[in-house]
Structure 1
Amino acid sequence: MVAFPYAHVDKSLRALAGQAEGFGRHAIGGLHGALYHVTNLADDGCGSLREGCCRNEPLWIIFEVSGTIELSSDLRVSSHKTIDGRGQKIKLAGKGLQLKECEHVILCNLEFEGGRGHDVDAIQIKPKSRHIWIDRCSLHDYDDGLIDITRESTDITISRCHFSVHDKAILIGGSSSNISDRCIRVTIHHCFFDGTKQRHPRVRFGKVHLYNNYTRNWGIYAVCASVESQIVSQCNIYEAGEKKVVFKYLSEKAADKEESTCGWIRSEGDLFLNGAQPSLLEDGSAKCVFEAHEYYPAWTMEPGSLALKKFLQLYTGWQPIARPPDNCSIVEDTLATEI
């Protein structure tokens, strides 16, 4: 049996809070807030998703409708919000979500597709946002990136997500001039990168822990380590298509340094299929990479296998699961439109 994490979090609505593994493990979202019911697919106004995301107070946002919300502008999510798509099928299109200077945000069981425009990402996390968890989301076909994490945003976990039909999947650290991004810490696990071309992820400066992900048929490379980044790759599955190189190193010069450097990658227990070539540096630089247990004591990981590969193909991204009951005694938000 495959040991999938978070098996217990669908027993009650708010059991998600504080249950992420890795760097985003402290994210509680709207745990201490009222329920906010999204009752229509409008871009704005009473009962809309945008109205709930813009409120200042903590909220646990749930949906009473299924369908596509066509965003005419980026939707900014404020602190202490859970956007919980369990029980419905919600697709966000047109633009994406922006997490700016916020903390404690959970995004669960949503679909992102068809974002259009310059610098339009499905989920853009910058600046100085922290304690973020993105779980069981399907992301594909945006004009820029799917997830960007930059400008001192940190303590983030991305889990059980499905990335497809896209070029640039995940960017961590936006520029070699942003030396303050040395604080970035991200965990990515149990995700399925399905034919996306590059950035699974691409990292500048930050510390990134990858485990039990399945990346296949990339178009340029699987994982890229640029200036001063530290990447731990544990028990992932890399299955090559036409392109075989898994790990790419790209030198850049940090703004406060005299010479250009690349990043560092340590691979432990990774499974390389169909001629995938790790192309790891042999200069001992892997010793520069952090140890995950220095930051958190445990995580759910198993050896890469064909069983894990099949499991990740089936159980990542949006899932047709029922919305759990809310066992919290907090009174529901009477200001939200009810049905």
Structure 2
Amino acid sequence: MASLPYADVDSNLRDLAGKAEGFGRLAVGGLHGPIYSVTTLADDGPGSLREGCRRQEPLWIVFEISGTINLSSYLSVSSYKTIDGRGQRIKFTGKGLRLKECEHIIICNLEFEGGRGHDVDGIQIKPNSRHIWIDRCSLHDYDDGLIDITRQSTDITVSRCYFSQHDKTMLIGADPSHIGDRCIRVTIHHCFFDGTRQRQPRVRFGKVHLYNNYTRNWSVYAVCASVESQIYSQNNIYEAGEKKVAFKYYTEMAADMEEAKSGLIRSEGDLFLSGAQSCLLTGIGEECIFHPSEYYPTWTIELASDSLKNVLQVCTGWQAIPRPAELMTSA
């Protein structure tokens, strides 16, 4: 039977810190700060999430209530914060979270739905942000992206998330003129992309490790490699609907180059169902694609199978789990 990683992170409140697999593995969030309790669904003011996120000290943010927080503007998250939705059901609507020039952020067990307005993403990560882990979030129906990672933001893991009812799902690297995005490194694993149209993800410049994800019924493509990107697709499940081609290559020219290039995809152990076609580029630079072991020693991976597919349909996104107790450990 398939199983998801991180079986131990819900035994103690702060056990999430530093436990991500992949490029976001160093993210500690608010490990070294006090608990901040959100006691109101108001957009701002005492006891609000916005009040906690703007504070400059490390905080482990938990919720004492469930319900919808209607954001009138992007909610900016400062460094060393954990936004921990375990034990409650919190949904964001209106706008989303903005991670701008910050580091060591953990976002766990939250819902994002119905973001409206130009350039409104569920979680927008730019510029110059790093050491970020997004885990067990449900994201649906925003006017722009669900998660966008751009402008030299790097060392990020997205795990166990559920994406649905959306067009341009996840953009990594925004524009061929942003050559600084060559530093971007992202791991996406054990996520379920359920009928989202495209960008699962679309990548420019960066290095992206995809493993044990389930993507089904896309209507443009599943994964897109654009200018200079390197995508390592390992033991994922791609189940086609009407559109069969899983991998697309878009050619663009980096601002400091004289020749346009697409990106590269290496597929290893992927399962293609319902006529899905990989359409891999053959004989063109596969040996130039990074291997994850160059950057982290281990990750939890299993064969792409019906068993894995079934588990990902149930165990991704927001979960009705209790908030762990904070068990003090001796030094």
Aligned partners of 1:74, 1:125: CA distance in 2, in Å?
A: 12
Q: Which amino acid aligns with 1:138?
A: S
Aligned partners of 2:284, 2:66: CA distance in 1, in Å?
A: 52
Cα-to-partner distance string for 1:181-219 (whole Å, 9 max, x where unaligned): 000000000000000000000000000000000000001
Q: Which amino acid aligns with 1:200?
A: Q
Q: Are the aligned partners of 2:33 and 2:59 in contact in 1 as well (CA < 8 Å)? A: yes
Q: Which amino acid aligns with 2:17?
A: A
What is the Cα deviation at residue 2 of structure 1? Answer: 1.4
The residue that corresponds to 2:249 in the other structure is 249
Counting only pairs closer than 5 Å after superposition, residues 149-188 of structure 1 correspond to structure 2 as: 149-188=149-188
Q: Which amino acid aligns with 2:147?
A: I
Q: Which amino acid aligns with 1:84?
A: D
Q: Are the aligned partners of 1:3 and 1:301 in contact in 2 as well (CA < 8 Å)? A: no
Q: What's the Cα RMSD here?
A: 0.9
Aligned partners of 1:87, 1:17: CA distance in 2, in Å?
A: 17
What is the Cα deviation at residue 4 of structure 1? Answer: 1.3
The residue that corresponds to 2:27 in the other structure is 27
Q: Are the aligned partners of 1:3 and 1:300 in contact in 2 as well (CA < 8 Å)? A: no
Aligned partners of 1:269, 1:2: CA distance in 2, in Å?
A: 16
1:293 aligns with 2:293: yes
Q: Which amino acid aligns with 2:20?
A: A
Post-superposition, which runs of at least 4 consecutive aligned residues in structure 1 deviate over 4 A?
none
SS at match of 1:168: coil
Task: Decide whether aligned partners of structure 1 residues 32 and 47 sit closer, same or farther in structure 2, where only a CA change above 3 A counts.
Answer: same
Counting only pairs closer than 5 Å after superposition, residues 316-327 of structure 1 correspond to structure 2 as: 316-327=316-327
Aligned partners of 2:187, 2:169: CA distance in 1, in Å?
A: 15
The residue that corresponds to 1:50 in the other structure is 50
SS at match of 2:311: helix
Q: Which amino acid aligns with 1:5?
A: P
Aligned partners of 2:215, 2:286: CA distance in 1, in Å?
A: 21
SS at match of 1:114: strand
Q: Which amino acid aligns with 1:114?
A: G
Counting only pairs closer than 5 Å after superposition, residues 1-339 of structure 1 correspond to structure 2 as: 1-328=1-328
Q: Which amino acid aligns with 2:201?
A: P
Q: Which amino acid aligns with 2:223?
A: V
Q: Are the aligned partners of 1:154 and 1:186 in contact in 2 as well (CA < 8 Å)? A: yes
Aligned partners of 1:234, 1:28: CA distance in 2, in Å?
A: 26
What is the Cα deviation at residue 160 of structure 1? Answer: 0.0
What is the Cα deviation at residue 64 of structure 1? Answer: 0.3
The residue that corresponds to 1:333 in the other structure is none
Greater shift after overlay, 65-74 or 2-11?
A: 2-11
Aligned partners of 1:293, 1:141: CA distance in 2, in Å?
A: 35
- Scaled by the length of structure 1, the TM-score of the pair is 0.96
Aligned partners of 2:3, 2:93: CA distance in 1, in Å?
A: 33
- Scaled by the length of structure 2, the TM-score of the pair is 0.99
Cα-to-partner distance string for 1:61-112 (whole Å, 9 max, x where unaligned): 0000000000000000000000000000000000000000000000000000
Q: Which amino acid aligns with 1:254?
A: A
Q: Which amino acid aligns with 2:271?
A: L
The residue that corresponds to 1:337 in the other structure is none
Q: Which amino acid aligns with 1:306?
A: D
Aligned partners of 2:287, 2:226: CA distance in 1, in Å?
A: 16
Aligned partners of 1:261, 1:73: CA distance in 2, in Å?
A: 37
Cα-to-partner distance string for 1:264-289 (whole Å, 9 max, x where unaligned): 00000000000000000012322111
Cα-to-partner distance string for 1:37-61 (whole Å, 9 max, x where unaligned): 0001000000000000000000000
Cα-to-partner distance string for 1:150-197 (whole Å, 9 max, x where unaligned): 000000000000000000111000000000000000000000000000
SS at match of 2:146: strand
SS at match of 1:312: helix
What is the Cα deviation at residue 329 of structure 1? Answer: 7.5
SS at match of 1:167: coil
Aligned partners of 2:12, 2:95: CA distance in 1, in Å?
A: 31
Aligned partners of 2:143, 2:34: CA distance in 1, in Å?
A: 35
Structure 1 segments unaligned to the other structure (5+ residues)? 331-339
Matched-pair identity in %: 73
Aligned partners of 2:194, 2:3: CA distance in 1, in Å?
A: 21
Q: Are the aligned partners of 1:14 and 1:328 in contact in 2 as well (CA < 8 Å)? A: no
Aligned partners of 1:327, 1:179: CA distance in 2, in Å?
A: 45
Structure 2 segments unaligned to the other structure (5+ residues)? none
Aligned partners of 2:83, 2:291: CA distance in 1, in Å?
A: 32
Aligned residues: 330
Q: Which amino acid aligns with 2:111?
A: E
Cα-to-partner distance string for 1:319-338 (whole Å, 9 max, x where unaligned): 000000012479xxxxxxxx
